Every structure is written in structure tokens, then in C-alpha cells.
Amino acid sequence: MTRQEKIAEIVKRVSKKPAPPDPEESLFDSGYLDSFALTDMVTELEQEFGLTIPDADLSPRRFESIARIEQYVDSHAD
């Protein structure tokens, strides 16, 4: 499973939606994430990719889409 596919699975799980969104789709406009689901997703990203995501990085814009999340993980994962 690619990194993007793992992220899509996490988004699908925390949003409780039957299918993952398109990589460029806004997770907030499409109803996949709200403030509470975002913090759940961040916890899962930390566990899956061995990251520590600081509070200062918690912003909807940074996690707007699967593509944006992948960029974040790529630049912070070992």
C-alpha cells in the first residue's frame, strides 16, 4: 500500500465514509473532516507514520486534501 493509499484509508476510517475521497478533493468542503475528525486523523497519522505533529501545525489548510496531507507527511517523516 502506498503512502497516499494509507492516508486515504485513515481519512475514510475517521470520517466513517464508505469510500475514500479523491486526492485533490477538499476534505472539509466534501464533509469528510470537521474539527473533531481532523484531530482524530492527526492522531492516526502520528501512529501510522511515526510522526509528532505539533499543535502549531494543526490547521485545516495544512490537511485540506489527501494530496496536501501526503506533502506534509513526506516532509516530516524520516
Q: What are the residues binding another protein (CB under 8 A)? A: 34-36, 38-39, 42-43, 55, 58-60
**Closest-CA residue to 10 (of 47, 54, 35, 64):** 47
In this complex, which beta carbon is closest to another protein, that of residue 25 or of residue 40?
Answer: 40
Written as nine digits, the cell of 43 is 492522531
In this complex, which beta carbon is closest to another protein, that of residue 43 or of residue 47?
Answer: 43
User: Cβ of residue 56: shortest distance to another protein, in angstroms?
Assistant: 8
| List of residues 6+ apart from 4 with CB closer than 8 A | 23, 66, 67, 70
| 3-class state of residue 57 by DSSP | helix
User: Cβ of residue 74: shortest distance to another protein, in angstroms?
Assistant: 22
User: Cβ of residue 45: shortest distance to another protein, in angstroms?
Assistant: 12
